[in-house]
Structure 1
Amino acid sequence: MAMRFVVSFALVAAVVADSTSHSSSHVSYGRPPHRPSYHPQPTYGHEPAVPACAENTTKPWCLEDAEYPIYEIKHAVDYHFSKVIDLYADVADLNTELSVERPKTLEEETYLCPSDTAYVRPLRAVNTAGKWRVIVNNVETHYKTLTQTTRVEECLTAGDACPLVPECYESKCLQKSIYHRFLIYDPYDQYFPFAIETFKLPASCACLLGAYTIDH
């Protein structure tokens, strides 16, 4: 009877010791719990060269975009609010009046060509490097709505002779451009996914007159 009691006590002691050793292997010794950071894991893919919103248009911008990452942009703006607002204010205060692309020669020009003018808020556009970018537009954050509106004017008859100009004069309708800066969102920058980039947009439609002489 004494022998059976000694064996049972030894088995219980072994089980308790084994349980204690396993529990001690998981003790953190005061280390703080892991907290996931805001920055996502690096993305190894890339957006398509031409987004889906531009497949059925020849314009270098999209005013509608079913794949626009509005929730991702809003979350990133909320996280980096102060820095984003500084960039946004810089874009909003920029005067692009002197950025109009002008002819490089001294021919006389007048505005006689038909054009289509609109004020737009692009969601995506092609920058001066030829890359499609996501434009921060219509994003609500901290009781503010971030919008970026620009005026575009497109020639309806670019390259054709100017209407109402006599055929004896060499003339053609010329599309002129402006360089505009937009605040963009880069989903592949895991540290600060915002930047200001430059975009070339149609600004006006002019009538370019060639050299001519007047005979008396």
Structure 2
Amino acid sequence: MVFKLVTVFVVPLATMVLAATPGPYHAPPTPYAPHHPGPVYPKHHQAPPHHPAPHAPQGYCDPKAPPKCAHHSDLPFCLEDPEYPEYEIANKISQDPIFEKKYSDVPDQSADDLVEHISEYQEDAFNYAYYTGASKGHSPFDLSHWAGPEGYLCPSQVDYAKIKRAVNVEGYWRIILQHAPKEYGYASYNYTQTTRLETCLTPDSACRLIAPCYNSKCTQKYVYHRMVSVDPCDLYRGFFIDTYKLPSACSCHVPH
């Protein structure tokens, strides 16, 4: 009888389980590539975002904005106006047959009619050159300061003007109705509004021929005028009466 020897190896269960559990995954190594830095482009400073300032709607008309005739003047009125709407005004006047009877004017005005004891010739001579030409000293209180043979205590400029535009008492610019017909074929409609303007040549200065001890001062006076007007922002509104504060006199004031 022959016996065969069989060798049996006993492996622990824990070892078998450990051998069956897969290990952590490792990605295959990537092929080596040499490092070459990319191109460097110059950086430009980006401009800040542009936020446009708020603006008026297209076609908006600001009634308080000074017109072109007042761009180089601090006066609240214009005696000349390159943008004066003559044609529109002439057309409006022609549609009212009794317009001139409703709004009559005294076109010929002068000192002969409005200033007692002073003629038009005398008043026209009382200008800036007349008063300053008589002064022989540098001080405004010099004995010869503004010492002409005659004149006002406070030098002033007088104009019998036909104002084209003016600021009303509310601060709005208005077109003043002044129609001297030219080439528009409305020869029978000649309507004007004449205003006497007297403006101090040297406001707040000492009055001439008054002793310095009185502390006199030239003061500008104003008067309210009501004139037929047109709204430059709405010509189709038609004519209306508006009120304006205009210089009327230059007086000498002596305080207590």
How high is the TM-score relative to the length of structure 1?
Answer: 0.62
Larger radius of gyration: 2
Deviation at 1:66, TM superposition (A): 1.1
Aligned partner of 1:51 among 61, 64, 67? 67
2:169 maps to which residue?
128
Deviation sequence 1:33-92 (CA, Å, 0-9, x none)? xxxxxxxxxx9631561101100111111111111111111112222x147445423x76
Greater helix proportion? 1
Alignment partners' CA distance in 1, 2:174 and 2:235 = 16
Alignment partners' CA distance in 2, 1:83 and 1:186 = 22
Greater strand proportion? 1
Give the total of aligned pairs: 150
Q: Which runs of at least 4 in structure 1 moved beyond 4 Å after TM superposition?
A: 187-192
Deviation at 1:134, TM superposition (A): 0.4
2:88 maps to which residue?
72
Aligned partner of 1:62 among 78, 93, 101? 78
2:223 maps to which residue?
178
The within-5 A match list for 1:1-216 is: 45-47=60-62, 49-79=65-95, 81-82=96-97, 84-85=99-100, 87-89=102-104, 112-140=153-181, 141=186, 143-189=188-234, 192-211=237-256
Deviation at 1:112, TM superposition (A): 1.1
Asked if the contact 2:230/2:239 (under 8 Å) is kept, the reply is yes
Alignment partners' CA distance in 2, 1:70 and 1:195 = 17
How high is the TM-score relative to the length of structure 2?
Answer: 0.53
Alignment partners' CA distance in 2, 1:57 and 1:167 = 33
Alignment partners' CA distance in 2, 1:76 and 1:134 = 14
Asked if the contact 1:87/1:196 (under 8 Å) is kept, the reply is no
Alignment partners' CA distance in 2, 1:190 and 1:157 = 38
Secondary structure at 1:144 match in 2: coil
Deviation at 1:190, TM superposition (A): 6.7
Asked if the contact 1:172/1:208 (under 8 Å) is kept, the reply is yes
Alignment partners' CA distance in 1, 2:179 and 2:192 = 5
Q: CA RMSD in A?
A: 2.5
Question: Structure 2: which amino acid aligns with 1:120?
Answer: A
Alignment partners' CA distance in 2, 1:78 and 1:138 = 11
Q: Between the two structures, name the one with larger relative contact order (CA 8 Å, sep ≥ 6).
A: 1
Secondary structure at 1:74 match in 2: helix
Asked if the contact 1:179/1:199 (under 8 Å) is kept, the reply is yes
Asked if the contact 1:87/1:183 (under 8 Å) is kept, the reply is no
